[in-house]
């Protein structure tokens, strides 16, 4: 009984911080002022919104996978270093996170712009005759988002990798596994859950991005969050809420599918010991 | 199957300023069961890891059957190993764990199945093949680890404190099991423990390690009966140690006892006497040259055995353990006691 009482502050906090706001969003999206699905109909029938919706999911998925492909090897590299050297390397990974996303995105303008560092260098060396258009392209959006998300994936992978008992790899080797085989048979399966979790976190956070596409993306690189922001500034609260609900439901659906699929494939650590 | 000869030749290993092994020499005969016994930090794991190929010797060479191992990766050494923390793959079933070394050796699936089954039957875990390690008890996990280490019939088997995580009863069961498996498969075993009883009961020979050096290597009986240094006498079992004086002409005196004993070893500086090798002299026995006297200071009754702490006139305390005959009256606390020993039971100590 006392145990339940101590749960109350937590439950209240969750209710105030999450459930009530989400409830208000649902109320705004579904009641105008009486129950109607008009906002959702508008979303589903206007091609532009559907296109932006799919684009958002696709960009987020690509960003998440690119982060995985770059971040997993980096995390692996750091975890292979002597324990005394790891904190410094993780510090380097985390430094960018201390800067605001806004500042980092502006920094990409300086790097990628017509007069930017890359174009100026290439021109100076003579590799190109005219500046390449890099800013305000889809590529710039990917670069900007990956740069912001990468530390999150590295940290998630790293923490799951440090939990892998090093003697398991030794055991694999002494039983006849080459380093590559030991990695595939032991390290990869045991770090897969952390890698999948990290990828999902990056995916979910990417779905809500709007600063990066707004500042360094092209006209067609608009994401759902940009549309929602526009609708809010035009005080179309109901439609903005409906879009948010669509994103939320889509995210939950994707999470469920990936989680169910990976539960069958990867090992969970929580049952050990 | 035939075990291999294992040979450490002048192996040294340093970690920066720490010398973990210094001038380590050890020759293990095919099929022999040798134990490295030593306190924590004495270099036992370092020796094992160099043999397994997990770390390189700073200098010296290790051989298996005259094949030098420098530059040979662990996976090419054909050595089995049981780890202290079991090191079972948590994502694989018991059967998959045991099959692992065979799979790495590209053994045909049908043969893998028979051999895994045989190995699991050997450790009485045939019914647990489909379980994950997390669903096993500590003793069962270590049995799986054992089955996995021997399923590919390695000519050399290494075990690093593999029983120390288990409670006493399980430990004794597994000691028995390891000895049986050693007898059955005839592999050469290098076993590591810090538990002297475990070392004494299991080994053909025991190497006592201290500070990265082997201070004595002998069969268990020899080690117990003839420790060569104070360190070994103290490390293995209980011991009473007495300084010697005037070691000349095959004789020496024991000042604490006020007697003279034959001492063939001219380098001896002290003797070690096991408590059970000292006899309580009841009645008169004037002919015995090694009789000395003291006062019983304390006694502990163990049932068949009684342990007495005796204060000698020099002030030294010594422990005597006697079987109780029941006929004669033993001196009790506060009473004078006469003691004697066979000089052949006094192990000469070199330092
Ligand atoms: N990787 C290492 N780095 C630095 N010192 C080590 C390392 N491994 C072992 N040592 C040192 O070497 C000595 C022997 O260690 P070890 O072989 O593990 O002892 P044991 O297994 O007998 O407890 C210890 O002093 C230990 O601190
Ligand atoms: Mg050790």
SS3 readout for chain A: CHHHHHHHHHHHHHHHHHHHHHHHHHHHHHECCCECCHHHHHHHHCHHHHHHHHHHHHHHHHHHHHHHHHHHHHHHHHHHCCCCCHHHHHHHHHHHHHCCHHHHHHHHHHHHCCCCHHHHHHHHHCCCCCCCCCCCCHHHHHHHHHHHHHHHHHHHHHHHHHCCCHHHHHHHHHCCCCHHHHHHHHHHHHHHHHHHHHHHHHHHHHHCCCHHHHHHCCHHHCCHHHHHHHHHHCCCHHHHHHHHHHHHHHHHHHHHHHHHHHHHHCCCHHHCC
CA distance B218 to chain A (A): 29
Same domain, B109 and B226: yes
CATH number for the domain spanning B272: value is 2.40.50.100
pLDDT grade, residue B248 (50/70/90)? confident
Mean pLDDT over each residue of chain B, to the nearest integer? 92
Same domain, B143 and B15: yes
Of B203, B232, B261, the position where a domain reaches its end is B232
Q: For ligand 1, is residue B44 a contact (CB within 6 Å)?
A: yes
Q: Please check whether residue B266 touches A, CB under 8 A.
A: no
Q: Which domain holds residue B101?
A: 6-232
Same domain, B58 and B154: yes
Q: How many domains does chain B have?
A: 2
Same domain, B83 and B209: yes
- The pLDDT assigned to A273 comes to 38
Same domain, B156 and B261: no
CATH number for the domain spanning B87: value is 3.40.50.300
- The pLDDT assigned to B286 comes to 60
Report, as an integer, the average pLDDT of B258-262.
89
Query: Is CATH 1.10.3720.10 the right assignment for the domain spanning A53-272?
Result: yes
Domain spans in chain A, listed from the N-terminal domain onward: 53-272
Interface test with A, best of B89, B96, B151 (most A CBs within 10 A): B89
Residue B21 and residue A136: Cα distance in Å, rounded?
Answer: 63
Same domain, B58 and B196: yes
pLDDT above 80: residue B289: no
**CA nearest ligand 1 atom 2, residue:** B15
Of B232, B262, B282, the position where a domain reaches its end is B232
Same domain, B194 and B253: no
CA distance B23 to chain A (A): 25
- The pLDDT assigned to B326 comes to 65
Predicted structure pTM score: 0.85
From chain A, the residues in CB contact with B138 under 8 A are none
Mean pLDDT over each residue of chain A, to the nearest integer? 91
Same domain, B256 and B176: no
Higher-scoring residue by pLDDT: B156, B301: B156
Same domain, B80 and B25: yes
| Residue B15 CA, ligand 2 centroid: distance in Å | 15
Same domain, B282 and B338: yes
Same domain, B324 and B218: no
For B124-155, the pLDDT digits (tens) are 999 999 999 999 999 999 999 999 999 999 99
pLDDT above 50: residue A146: yes
- The pLDDT assigned to B284 comes to 67
**CA nearest ligand 1 atom 5, residue:** B15
For A14-27, the pLDDT digits (tens) are 888 888 989 999 99
Same domain, B144 and B271: no
Whether B1 is covered by a domain: the verdict is no
Q: For ligand 1, is residue B53 a contact (CB within 6 Å)?
A: no
| Residue B47 CA, ligand 1 centroid: distance in Å | 10
Whether B159 is covered by a domain: the verdict is yes
Q: Please check whether residue B74 touches A, CB under 8 A.
A: yes
Of B181, B212, B232, the position where a domain reaches its end is B232
């Amino acid at each position: 009984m006392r145990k339940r009482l101590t749960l109350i502050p937590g439950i209240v906090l969750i209710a105030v911080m999450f459930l009530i706001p989400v409830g208000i969003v649902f109320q705004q999206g579904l009641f105008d002022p009486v129950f109607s699905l008009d906002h959702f109909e508008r979303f589903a029938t206007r091609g532009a919104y559907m296109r932006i919706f799919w684009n958002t999911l696709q960009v987020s998925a690509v960003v998440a996978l690119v982060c995985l492909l770059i971040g997993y090897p980096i995390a692996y590299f750091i975890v292979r270093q002597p324990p005394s050297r790891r904190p410094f390397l993780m510090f380097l990974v985390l430094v960018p996170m201390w800067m605001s996303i806004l500042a980092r995105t502006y920094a990409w303008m300086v790097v990628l712009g017509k007069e930017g560092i890359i174009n100026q260098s290439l021109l100076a060396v003579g590799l190109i005759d005219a500046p390449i258009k890099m800013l305000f392209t889809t590529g710039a959006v990917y670069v900007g988002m990956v740069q912001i998300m990468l530390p999150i994936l590295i940290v998630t992978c790293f923490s799951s990798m440090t939990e892998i008992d090093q003697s398991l790899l030794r055991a694999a080797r002494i039983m006849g596994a080459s380093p590559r085989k030991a990695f595939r048979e032991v390290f990869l399966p045991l770090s897969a859950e952390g890698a999948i979790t990290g990828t999902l976190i990056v995916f979910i956070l990417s779905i809500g991005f709007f600063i990066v596409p707004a500042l360094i993306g092209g006209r067609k690189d608009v994401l759902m969050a940009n549309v929602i922001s526009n609708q809010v500034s035009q005080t179309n609260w109901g439609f903005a809420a409906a879009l948010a609900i669509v994103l939320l439901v889509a995210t939950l659906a994707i999470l469920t599918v990936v989680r169910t699929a990976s539960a069958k494939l990867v090992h969970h650590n929580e049952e050990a010991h | 199957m035939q075990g291999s000869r294992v040979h450490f030749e002048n192996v040294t290993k340093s970690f920066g300023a720490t010398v973990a092994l210094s001038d380590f020499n050890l020759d293990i005969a095919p099929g022999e069961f040798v134990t490295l016994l030593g306190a924590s930090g004495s270099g036992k794991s370092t020796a094992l890891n160099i043999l397994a190929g997990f770390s390189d010797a700073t200098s010296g060479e290790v051989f298996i059957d005259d094949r030098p191992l420098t530059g040979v990766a662990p996976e090419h050494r054909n050595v089995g190993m049981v780890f202290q923390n079991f090191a079972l793959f948590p994502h694989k079933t018991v059967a998959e764990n045991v099959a692992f070394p065979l799979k790495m050796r590209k053994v045909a699936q049908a043969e893998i199945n028979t051999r895994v089954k045989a190995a699991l039957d050997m450790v009485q875990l045939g019914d647990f093949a489909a379980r994950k390690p997390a669903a096993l008890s500590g003793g069962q996990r270590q049995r799986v680890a054992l089955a996995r280490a021997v399923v590919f019939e390695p000519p050399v088997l290494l075990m690093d404190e593999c029983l120390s995580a288990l409670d006493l009863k399980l430990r004794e069961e597994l000691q028995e099991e390891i000895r049986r498996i050693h007898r059955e498969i005839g592999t050469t075993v290098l076993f590591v423990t810090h538990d002297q009883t475990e070392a004494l009961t299991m080994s053909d020979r025991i190497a006592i390690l201290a500070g990265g050096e082997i201070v004595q290597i002998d069969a268990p009986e020899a080690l117990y009966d003839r420790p060569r240094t104070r360190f070994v006498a103290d490390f293995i079992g209980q011991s009473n140690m007495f300084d010697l004086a005037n070691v000349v002409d095959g004789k020496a005196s024991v000042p604490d006892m006020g007697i003279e004993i034959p001492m063939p070893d001219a380098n001896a500086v002290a003797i070690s006497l096991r408590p059970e090798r000292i006899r309580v002299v009841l009645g008169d026995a004037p002919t015995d040259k090694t009789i000395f006297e003291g006062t019983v200071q304390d006694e502990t009754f163990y049932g068949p055995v009684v342990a007495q702490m005796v204060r000698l006139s020099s002030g030294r305390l010594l422990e005597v353990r006697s079987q109780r005959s029941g006929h004669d009256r033993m001196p009790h606390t506060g009473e004078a006691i006469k003691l004697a020993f066979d000089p052949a039971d006094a192990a000469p100590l070199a330092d």
